[in-house]
Amino acid sequence: MKRNKIVSLPYTLEKKSLSKKYNNKYVQDQIDKIEKLSGSTISIKNIGKTSSEYKKPCICCKSEFYILITNYISIDSPLTCGTCNKSVPLYKLPKFYDFGYMPILSWETNYQACDSLQMNCEVGERWSLNQMQETKSPLSKQGLDICKQIEEQTTIPTFYYLYNYRKNSGDDKNRLCPNCKKKWTLKTQLHNLYDFKCDNCRIISTISTNT
Ligand SMILES: [Zn+2]
Ligand SMILES: [Zn+2]
């Protein structure tokens, strides 16, 4: 609060992220409420970049595929473009559910909570790791279901990133898809990260670094 002003400093993916056209019903309702209570209008101003590593989000006309991926410290969108490997702002997608993206944000925060547990090592490390690397875990099921729905709405194939930190004595690269048991190793690594991709099961993953 400063003099007669209330200022908020959120991070955004793009300069126009807070543009009115992206507001869903709930955002607009809250803005209307604040404006009514305060008797003034909200103004939005870009004040610059916070990080020198800032990468612009995806601007591909049509992405080849999407990947649902996040981690415990990410502030990017949980959806990335398989073509350019950049963030896809959720407000560029058709509204997902109930005018917004609640199911995606619910999966994202669940995933980040599990990733924090396994990074901290002391509480529930094995449990959270299994949530992240087993295709049948409740966390993966939630994520895979979201991928399916994004694909239905956008017609862009959407892959689920499956974490992998199993014991690797050099044989992990020959492992088959954990779901359909078919070959899924990529001939060349994709985006300096992904080693496995199953087009049937819509799962993408990496070779374990746990050697
Ligand atoms: Zn892209
Ligand atoms: Zn498969």
Give the per-residue pLDDT at 43. Answer: 93
Nearest to 181 by CA among 161, 203, 163: 203
Ligand number, closest to the Cα atom of 55: 1
Mean pLDDT for 47-58 is: 85
Give the per-residue pLDDT at 169. Answer: 92
- Mean pLDDT for all residues in the chain: 94
Tell me, in angstroms, the distance from the centre of ligand 1 to residue 81's CA: 5
Q: pLDDT tens digit string along 82-91?
A: 999 999 999 9
Q: Which residues of 85-112 are buried (b: 16+ CB within 10 A; e: fewer)?
A: ebbbbbbebeebeeebbebbeebbeebb
Helices (H), 43-101: none
Q: pLDDT tens digit string along 99-155?
A: 888 999 999 999 999 999 999 999 999 999 999 999 999 999 999 999 999 999 999
Domain boundaries, the chain: 1-48, 55-205
Give the per-residue pLDDT at 141. Answer: 98
Tell me, in angstroms, the distance from the centre of ligand 1 to residue 113's CA: 27
Ligand number, closest to the Cα atom of 77: 1
The alpha carbon torsion through 185, 190, 194, 196 (nearest 10 deg) reads -20
pTM metric for this prediction: 0.92
Let me know how many helices (H) and strands (E) the chain has, helices first: 4, 6
